[in-house]
Amino acid sequence: MRTDYHTHTPLCGHAVGAPRDYILAAQKAELEEIGFSDHNPMPTQFDDWRMAPDDLPHYVEMIEQARLEFPHYPIRLGLECDFIPGYEEHVRNLAAAADWDYLIGAVHYVTPDWDIDNPKHLKRWTEQPVEEVWTAYFNAYTKMVESCLFDFLAHPDLVKKFGYRPEGDLSRFYHEMLDATAEAGITLEVSTAGLRKEVREIYPSRDFLVAAHARHIPIVINSDAHSPKEVAYEFDLAYTLAREVGYTEVMRFEKRKAFPVEIV
Ligand code: ZN
Ligand code: FE
Ligand code: FE
Ligand code: ZN
């Protein structure tokens, strides 16, 4: 069974296509479920790539509308939430604001003013040691895991997006984060979005996924589609990688519970 739980809507300002177009694309790709997970609102408009503070009801309504239009196709309601220290209460409020199937945790910010995946800040990569950015990223990621606020964890090594990578074995950056994930029993996302970015690689890397599998960390495979044509993007590659690493199951999500299903 295949699903795609990480997809966006135009509400975040940088995705295109109505939910119905994503749903049609999912059906065409023979996925058994689709889920939406647009970028969460913050209490104040924080940046230019998320829904506005008042847009949450509109978002939920849009997905409910899609469910009415496709009554026989499972459409999951999710949200991609930024983990930013100090906003835990805000995330708890969001969690109570709708009948979510899952909340995705994501680290985009390594400092309050640097969302590391934003091409706007590309120059900053050359202004400080890459090691430091990687350390800050995975420290934040570990804190996100330990918060236990989320059902699965987005694009685990997003920090590699633009191809800035420290030398040598990178497990020194993520082994603690993986230990925390195993201990918390949280699912890790395998995302094909990285294949569309400068790094041209799935998030996470093969070594990273091997280390996750060794710790029995469950996975979910997603595209992070920002347009209907990206739904199920290069899923064959991701499923092949998961299988090669030793995975036989992926997780499906409903009402904030995870259920293992066999990989196909
Ligand atoms: Zn986005
Ligand atoms: Fe993200
Ligand atoms: Fe996303
Ligand atoms: Zn994302």
Q: How far apart are the CA of 102 and the centre of ligand 2, in A?
A: 15
**Mean pLDDT, 10 residues at a time, the chain of 264 residues:** 98 98 98 98 95 97 98 98 97 98 98 96 96 98 98 98 97 98 98 98 98 98 98 98 98 98 92
Cα of 117 from ligand 2 centre, angstroms: 8
Q: Ligand 4 centroid to 202 CA: how many Å?
A: 13
pLDDT (0 to 100) of residue 219: 99
| DSSP structure class, residue 82 | E
Ligand in closest contact with the CA of 50:
1
Q: Are 25 and 231 in contact (CB under 8 A)?
A: yes
Q: How many A from CA of 9 to the centre of ligand 1? A: 9
Helix (H) or strand (E) holding 160: none
Q: What is the pLDDT of residue 264?
A: 81
Architecture (CATH level 2) of domain 3-262: Alpha-Beta Barrel (3.20)
Are the C-beta atoms of 23 and 75 separated by less than 8 Å?
yes
- In angstroms, the CA 30 to CA 58 distance is 28
3-state secondary structure of 129: coil
**Sequence ranges of the domains in the chain:** 3-262
**pTM to 2 decimal places:** 0.98
For residues 35-54, b (16+ Cβ closer than 10 Å) or e, as one string?
bbbbbbbbeeebeebbbeee
State residue 241's pLDDT score.
98
Beta bridge partners of 219: 188
| Ligand 3 center from residue 80 Cα (angstroms) | 6
Give the sign of the dihedral formed by CA 222, CA 225, CA 229, CA 233: negative
Residue 73's closest CA among 37, 29, 38, 26? 26
Report the alpha-carbon distance of residue 161 to residue 202 in Å, rounded: 10
pLDDT at 46: 87
Q: With contact defined as beta carbons under 8 Å apart, do 55 and 11 qualify?
A: yes
DSSP-derived letter for residue 262 is E
102 close to 256: Cβ distance less than 8 angstroms: yes
